[in-house]
A and B are shown apart, each in its own frame.
Chain A
């Protein structure tokens, strides 16, 4: 069969650093090829080469019958039938659905298309998806993420895309919408369109993909039909060793330890009555889809979201939390998933970032503040050429370690971590896992969420599964495959 696209021996180099090398990647019409890999494995480089954003440093590209194609830019790739549905959806909230579909930088002429013409075109391409409930005249900003995604897909189909790349399309969808999207992708596949599916959600990959490629350190670590492989093989290929070896030893869970946290009937935005307890030194994972209430529970506990009902007690004492100040002063720490917007202070240096909590809330200052901050930086192995550099000069992993250092310096009783390894390389991940375990051994209770199933199953003492704002199941031991299914169902 003629491939929709075939990257042959593709490499990409920045200066002397190869971020991708000797990679072979082929997708046939009517099939879906799943692409996996840790951060920095070369996934996004590969996609950008397919999308025409980056030119490869070596290797050749075949698109359909045409071999040795060089893509000039994203527009050129689009013209050759390649469309990318990005995670952040390159759409315009201020324009209508019809205008979003019509907007195209490669259109010629002075005038923009007439409204009636745009509406007709939008109706046509939305119908290709079997989508009739979206009105072309609606401003896009009024749509849900899931509907926006449909508009992006419709736009691609309307351009006669031969290959559609989906970049983590379900990362911000709830269970129902993710399910719908899967159906839609299967439909698209049935039209002989080739799919590249970037995701690390095994259930999704097993459901829609025909072929799986795993990248690691810029090279193909695994390429096989989906029917020939299982979860363990994929995660081993991604990590370079069995998942078990990445995670630290779990001491026997403290089942009879002192009660650190007791939550009864907790409710707020996206959280509808949650009860659970956590012991001193326990590591608790909150699993669930985005919007299931797991992240929001952490925000409630830290006073960032308003609590509409429930009682909480911390170390035996009632814990009333109206804002984050109450939380910090009661000995609770929190790291948000969005490191850039809710974590670091981007204009400040590493030292100031690390020292901020003990300075602002615990009155540390002068030499003592500096000493304690430097100690936390050293303890967490934050790699910075100087603590006086702006924190943005550090890698994602080191920024995250600096944020952890900020809280460690304050010696919290309870540490809440929302997806703490997001955008962090494997080495830093491993350090973060060890640190969580070390904190727990020292008596801190750690509650975290993660978008990677292995981090839930391999690190936590207990896993609470969230769905629609409440806890539906609790696991002490569970394998990743089962948990994945339970999260998705």
Chain B
């Protein structure tokens, strides 16, 4: 919620002090400080880290993770979880490729895949809400179901974007460069962050997500349609998965049907590191962005230092645990 305070301009010294006090209390600080420290460490250790080229590259690398993490933030704050987003990402790349290969325009393919993504999320939500089963189970099921269908559709073979395929728009949003150096993927992340921020922190729908995640029964009593809110949150999460799968296809131009396996865990890790409470009710877009950035900086910096990929994975694991411990300790102190 402190993201709100950051945006409003303090009018007087006392408002400034209050704003600063809110900033100090904010959950985002818990991820911002480690992010800063780790960045300083890498800056000292590697002359490459702070170069414009490296930072732009780093941002490009985390963009799609960031977009999906924004989607997952909605679901996690609503006190649910979506494990299927990696499978949706995989399916989306494959279907986009197949549609374009079969002559569908890239605009139409993108449109179709976004609708499909949203519908899959809606289905996850419907099963969770009306089937009254934990979303962990419902989306674990769709994780396998969607991945299996992806393998069935492709027969296990990769799908490639033909060199002469008519996919200029897709190539542009995936590979394009703006302002001479910024990847379009970063622009997509920025747009997603703005939309996510407005939806989560400024709209009535976002307000209701926090209410549902904080106390579902009370939300029902005051007349919030909690099922609808949750289904929409699932829809948003899957939509971001589908978008990113398509963009990734446009970027690497050839995807395996197994693409994106385990991605859902990276997404959840980033959101949790960013201070969103797994039990729901707390979190922010700013925090999620910082969480994604922390993961990106860690990976990038460890590569620059020549640390093996195996150790990178272990380090991220340790950071997840530390972040969870830090936020649990903070919460206890506040209580």
Binding site for B on A (CB under 8 A): 73-75, 78, 86, 89-96, 99, 103-107, 109-112, 115-116, 137, 139, 141-142
Contacts and interface: CB of A to CB of B under 8 A. Distances in A.
Contacts of A99: 1, 207, 210
Given A104-B222, A105-B224, A110 B204 contact: yes
Contact of A112 (B206, B223, B277, B282): B206
Contact of A90 (B22, B215, B225): B215
Interface in B26-54: none
Contact of B210 (A90, A94, A107, A137): A94
B204 A91 contact: no
B203 A95 contact: no
Task: State the 6 A-B residue pairs at the shortest beta-carbon distance, nearest first.
Answer: A105-B223, A94-B281, A94-B214, A90-B218, A92-B214, A75-B223
Interface in B2-19: 4-5, 8, 18
Contact of B213 (A94, A110, A142): A94
A456 B1 CA distance: 48
A94 B214 CA distance: 6
A151 B222 CA distance: 15
A142 B207 contact: no
B178 interface: no
Given A103-B222, A110-B203, 5 more contacts: A75-B223, A94-B210, A94-B213, A112-B204, A141-B334
Nearest to B282: A94
30 contacts: A75-B223, A78-B223, A86-B221, A90-B215, A91-B215, A91-B218, A92-B214, A92-B215, A92-B218, A92-B219, A93-B215, A94-B214, A94-B215, A94-B277, A95-B210, A99-B210, A103-B207, A105-B223, A105-B224, A111-B203, A112-B203, A112-B204, A112-B206, A115-B8, A116-B8, A137-B18, A137-B22, A141-B334, A141-B335, A142-B334
Interface magnitude class on chain B: 20 to 34
B181 interface: no
Nearest to B215: A92
A435 to B, nearest CB: 34
B222 A74 contact: yes
Given A92-B215, A115-B5, A115-B8, A73 B203 contact: no
A104 B207 CA distance: 10
Contacts of A104: 222
Contacts of A75: 222-223
Contacts of B210: 92, 94-95, 99
A93 B203 contact: no
Interface in B202-250: 202-208, 210-211, 213-215, 217-219, 221-225
Contacts of B207: 99, 103, 112
B295 to A, nearest CB: 25
B223 A74 contact: yes
A115 B4 contact: yes
Interface of B: 1, 4-5, 8, 18, 22, 202-208, 210-211, 213-215, 217-219, 221-225, 277, 281-282, 334-335
A103 B202 CA distance: 13
Among A73, A86, A94, A105, find the residue whose CB has the most chain B CB atoms closer than 10 A: A94
Given A93-B215, A112-B203, A115-B5, A73 B281 contact: no
Given A111-B202, A142-B334, A96 B1 contact: yes
Given A112-B207, A116-B8, A73 B202 contact: no
Contacts of A94: 210, 213-215, 277, 281-282
A117 to B, nearest CB: 11
Contacts of A111: 202-204
B335 A142 contact: yes
Nearest to A90: B218
A78 B221 CA distance: 11
A214 to B, nearest CB: 27
Nearest to B217: A90
B221 A92 contact: no
A105 B22 contact: no
A466 B8 CA distance: 51
Contacts of B206: 112
Contacts of A91: 215, 218
A106 B210 CA distance: 16
Given A112-B206, A116-B8, A105 B222 contact: yes
Contact of B281 (A92, A106, A116, A142): A92
Contacts of A74: 221-223
A282 B208 CA distance: 54
A96 B207 CA distance: 12
B203 A90 contact: no
A96 to B, nearest CB: 7
Contacts of B202: 111-112
A140 B185 CA distance: 39
A73 B223 contact: yes
A84 to B, nearest CB: 9
Nearest to B15: A116
Contacts of A95: 210-211, 214
A109 B1 contact: no
A462 B228 CA distance: 56
Contacts of A116: 8
B285 to A, nearest CB: 15
B225 to A, nearest CB: 8
B204 A90 contact: no
Nearest to A76: B223
Nearest to A139: B334
Contacts of B18: 137
Contacts of B277: 94
A105 B5 CA distance: 24
B4 A106 contact: no
Contacts of A78: 223
Contact of A92 (B4, B205, B211): B211
Contact of B214 (A93, A109, A142): A93
Contacts of A92: 210-211, 214-215, 218-219, 281
A298 B223 CA distance: 40
A141 B331 CA distance: 10
Contacts of A110: 203-205
B27 to A, nearest CB: 11
A75 B223 CA distance: 6
Contacts of B219: 92
A90 B4 contact: no
A107 B204 CA distance: 8
Given A112-B203, A115-B5, A103 B211 contact: yes
